[in-house]
Each structure stands twice: as structure tokens, then as C-alpha cells.
Amino acid sequence: MNEFSLAMQVRDYECDMQGIVNNAIYQHYLEHARHKFLETRGLSFAELTRAGIIIVVARAEIDYLKSLRAGDDFQVSVVASRPSRVRLVFSQVINRAADGQAVLRAKIITTAVNERGRPWFPPALEVLLGDA
């Protein structure tokens, strides 16, 4: 399955003066879940970076539906797809554990760049797409 879900919990320092999780922090949650997804396929983001395989986010579309608060438990799901030759897309949803409601939906469009900054699709990333 090219799908993955990670359980997380809001930490107090991630909340802002409105008492809710700051918008930028959700991108940390999304990134963290993607990197944990990579790990389940035997890939380490840090090792890929050291090996010169630089994966960058080209576009993020994020719908903020509800707000998470201090202490909230939530799930971050990840589904990978490859809509074009050099694009690797992660469809992600954050669901609040207490009521199952979707808090955020995101489409994160990434691409790998080689050492000259040109986009390519490293074969190592194919494991993200197939059934495990």
C-alpha cells in the first residue's frame, strides 16, 4: 500500500497567542509524516540528502478546515502518487483523534533535483509508489 498514517499530539509550544496550532507548524507535521512514510520504505531523508538526492517541495496546497489545540491527538495520513514524470505528489490529511474530523487537507507537490538543480525522478523513490 502506498499509504501511511502517523499518530501525533500537539505540543504546547506549537500553539500561538490564539491558543491554536500556528499555521506554519502544520507544515512541520506534514513533513514529519512524509519522512516517517519514507522510513517505512527503507528511505531516510537525511541519508538521501547526504547522498545528493535533494527532494524539494515545488508547491503546497493546504486547506485549513479546523484548528488543533494544545494536547490534541491527531493522525497525519500520506498517500503518494506520480502524476507526471518528475513530480511526486503527497496527498495528506490531518484528522483529529477525538472526533475523527478532518482538520487539514494538503496536496504537497515535490520534485527531486540533481546536483545541477535539474528535476529528475531518482529510481530510489519508486518504492514510495508501489504496493509494499
Provide the binding-site residues for its own copies, judged by CB under 8 A.
11-13, 15-19, 22-25, 27-28, 31-32, 35, 39, 44-46, 49, 54, 56-64, 67, 69-71
CA–CA distance, 116 with 23 (Å, rounded to integer): 33
How far from the centroid of its chain's Cα atoms is residue 35's Cα?
A: 7
Q: How far is the CB of 71 from its own copies (least distance, A)?
A: 7
37-70 b/e (C-beta count within 10 Å ≥ 16 → b)? bbeebebebeebeeeebebeeeeeeeeeeebbee
Q: How far is the CB of 131 from its own copies (least distance, A)?
A: 25
109-121 b/e (C-beta count within 10 Å ≥ 16 → b)? ebbbbeeeeeeee
Residue number with CB closer to its own copies (53 or 80): 53
Query: Choosing from 12, 16, 72, 99, which is the catalytic residue?
Result: 16
Residue number with CB closer to its own copies (10 or 80): 10
Residue number with CB closer to its own copies (51 or 130): 51
Please say if 131 is a catalytic residue: no
Active site residues: 16
